[in-house]
């Protein structure tokens, strides 16, 4: 008894320390090695000759949605990861109840290890089991595919009412709800053709990773569910997100410090809070955000469209080389927004944000807005936004014309401007 208690205290302490390290961002962005998926048809999945299939049912998992399959999954993972032949973990048809799990590498299996989920993986609902912070944690893995058309059900409904809002909490004391799928220190990761419903926290959280592709995903949670970001990315390089539908309660995609070279194409977002960079400037020594391209995407009924947000009166940071192009919006509240007074308006009296924003392009953005300010650009008085270009903007607000608002910025206007430029 006493030992068990000591162990759980130790686990809790470890979790807290790890969260602290996460929060203050002591980690560095990984270095990207060769991209093994580049130029390959990743849509195709075929068993490699001699590939070993490790079925969770062979390790005692029961597909009834009631039996706790955590141990069976862990044993199956070890058999998949620690073998010298190509192998894949198979979750067949059925509902498999599992608690929080660590899919730890490095793996000895050559080539990417595959996890093929055909059925439903269902999270246990008791939040006290989640002291490590996330539900399914993939860590220290070089080469992984998560595929199969299956569903990850986070059973968040029972926990949402207790969720703390860490995004708008300016301190780092906040305890985030567990993300459903967490990639940490993963290189060459492919997540494809997977559904996520009702996560307790984020649907997917990618950090410290490189060469990651997320495609053909369907994410769903109610518009009212708290902090259920679709794809949350930090400290990662070369991330490609495409062809996915995200209906959720928070940002469809959120990118914070340390992201570099992210492309987002053909996303359907809404309901949700849009596609966001930030909030930035929350923690000391934040790594910059650099090279983000959002293209050919649609936002429907979202709070924000495309947004960069930074905290006033806090830490340094930077966001540069960001392009939003060919985006259509339908009934979006704040279609184009740079907000350097995050959680501090109207009439923000705090010291200006220390995050530098530069080289931003908004190009071919069209659709409808539900608020009179369609283009809202409020930059820092201390570091005015540099080189922000608006090109071919066509946003209407019913019968009444929409407007623009600018502070500490001199946008470069090219082509059609609807709403009209700032005075
Ligand atoms: C990251 O994962 C690789 C295996 O892919 C491992 O060798 C390395 O030690 C890990 N790095 C850290 C900082 O844990
Ligand atoms: C950016 O990432 C993509 C893959 O997502 C990769 O193909 C490309 O080479 C990267 N660009 C740079 C400059 O590293
Ligand atoms: C955006 O749309 C224009 C005109 O329809 C097209 O020429 C251009 O290639 C598109 N760009 C991207 C990045 O999809």
Mean pLDDT value across residues 26-43:
82
419: left (phi over 0), alpha (psi -120 to 50) or beta: beta
Q: How far is the CA of 325 from the centre of ligand 3 (A)?
A: 8
Do 234 and 259 have their domain in common?
Answer: no
Q: What is the tally of structural domains in the chain?
A: 2
End of a domain among 223, 246, 269?
246
User: Rounded distance, CA 418 to CA 396, Å?
Assistant: 7
Do 226 and 264 have their domain in common?
Answer: no
Provide CB contacts within 8 A for 222, sequence distance 6+: 198, 249
Do 331 and 203 have their domain in common?
Answer: no
203, 232, 235, 273: which is the annotated catalytic residue?
Answer: 273
Do 263 and 335 have their domain in common?
Answer: yes
Closest CA to 318 of 327, 333, 328, 308: 308
Ligand nearest to the CA of 261: 2
Q: How far is the CA of 185 from the centre of ligand 1 (A)?
A: 6
Sign of CA dihedral 292, 24, 249, 240: positive
User: Rounded distance, CA 298 to CA 369, Å?
Assistant: 13
End of a domain among 220, 246, 272?
246
Task: Establish whether 273 is a catalytic residue.
Answer: yes
Question: Is residue 299 very low, low, confident or very high in pLDDT (cuts 50, 70, 90)?
Answer: very high
Do 240 and 259 have their domain in common?
Answer: no
For residue range 151-203, what is the model confidence (pLDDT) as tens digits?
Answer: 999 999 999 998 887 777 766 677 889 999 999 999 999 999 999 999 999 99
Do 259 and 204 have their domain in common?
Answer: no
Do 235 and 257 have their domain in common?
Answer: no
Which residue puts its alpha carbon closest to atom 8 of ligand 3?
A: 326
Contact 362, 324 (CB under 8 A): yes
112's tokens: 């990417």
Ligand nearest to the CA of 295: 3
Query: Rounded to 5, what percent of the chain is helix, strand, coil?
Result: 10, 50, 40
Contact 244, 267 (CB under 8 A): yes
The domain in which residue 161 lies consists of 1-38+47-246
End of a domain among 212, 246, 280?
246
123's tokens: 């999270």
pLDDT above 80: residue 256 = yes
Q: How far is the CA of 210 from the centre of ligand 2 (A)?
A: 10
Do 218 and 351 have their domain in common?
Answer: no
Closest CA to 369 of 398, 391, 390: 398
Do 173 and 289 have their domain in common?
Answer: no
Contact 319, 288 (CB under 8 A): yes
Q: How far is the CA of 19 from the centre of ligand 2 (A)?
A: 30
Task: Tell me which residues have their CB closer than 6 angstroms to ligand 2.
Answer: 35, 38, 238, 240, 261, 263
Do 263 and 237 have their domain in common?
Answer: no
Do 176 and 325 have their domain in common?
Answer: no
Residue bearing tokens 């990662």: 236
Element (H, E) at 160: none
Do 319 and 228 have their domain in common?
Answer: no
For residue range 127-157, what is the model confidence (pLDDT) as tens digits?
Answer: 899 987 899 999 999 999 999 999 999 999 9
Specify the CATH number for the domain of residue 366: 2.160.20.10
For residue range 277-295, what is the model confidence (pLDDT) as tens digits?
Answer: 999 999 999 999 999 999 9
Q: Please state the pTM of the whole predicted model.
A: 0.93
Residue 391 CB–ligand 3 contact under 6 Å: no
């Amino acid at each position: 008894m006493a030992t068990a208690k000591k162990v759980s205290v130790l686990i809790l302490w470890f979790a807290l320390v790890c969260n602290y390290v996460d929060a203050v961002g002591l980690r560095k962005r990984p270095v990207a090695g060769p991209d093994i998926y580049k130029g390959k048809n990743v849509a195709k999945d075929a068993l490699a000759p001699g590939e070993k299939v490790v079925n969770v049912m062979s390790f005692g998992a029961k597909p009834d949605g009631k039996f706790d399959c955590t141990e069976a999954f862990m044993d199956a993972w070890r058999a998949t990861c620690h073998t010298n032949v190509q192998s894949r973990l198979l979750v067949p048809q059925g509902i498999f109840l599992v608690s929080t799990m660590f899919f730890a590498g490095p793996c000895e299996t050559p080539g990417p290890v595959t996890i093929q989920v055909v059925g439903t993986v269902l999270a246990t609902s008791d939040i006290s089991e989640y002291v490590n912070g996330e539900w399914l944690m993939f860590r220290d893995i070089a080469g992984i595919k998560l595929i199969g058309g299956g569903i990850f059900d986070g059973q968040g409904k029972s926990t949402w009412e207790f969720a703390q809002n860490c995004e708008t909490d300016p301190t780092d004391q906040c305890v985030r709800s567990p993300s459903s799928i967490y990639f940490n220190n993963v290189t060459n990761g492919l997540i494809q053709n997977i559904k996520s419903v009702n996560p307790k926290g984020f649907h997917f959280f990618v950090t410290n990773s490189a060469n990651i592709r997320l495609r053909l995903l369907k994410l769903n949670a109610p518009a009212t569910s708290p902090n259920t970001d679709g794809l949350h990315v930090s400290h990662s390089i070369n991330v490609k997100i495409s062809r996915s539908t995200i209906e959720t309660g928070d940002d469809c995609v959120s990118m914070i410090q340390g992201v570099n070279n992210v492309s987002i194409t053909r996303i359907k977002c809404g309901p949700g809070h849009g596609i966001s960079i930030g909030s930035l400037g929350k923690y000391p020594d934040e790594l910059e955000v650099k090279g983000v391209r959002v293209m050919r995407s649609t936002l429907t009924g979202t709070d924000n469209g495309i947004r960069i947000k930074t905290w006033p009166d806090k830490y340094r940071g930077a966001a540069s080389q960001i392009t939003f192009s060919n985006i259509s919006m339908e009934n979006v509240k704040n279609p184009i927004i740079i907000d350097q007074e995050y959680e501090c308006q109207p009439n923000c009296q705090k010291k200006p944000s220390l995050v530098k924003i530069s080289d931003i392009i908004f190009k071919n953005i069209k659709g409808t807005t539900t608020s009179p300010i369609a283009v809202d650009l409020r930059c820092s008085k201390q570091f005015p936004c540099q080189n922000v270009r608006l090109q071919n903007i066509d946003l209407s607000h019913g019968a009444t014309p929409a407007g623009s608002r600018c502070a500490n910025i001199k946008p470069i206007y090219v082509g059609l401007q609807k709403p009209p430029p700032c005075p």
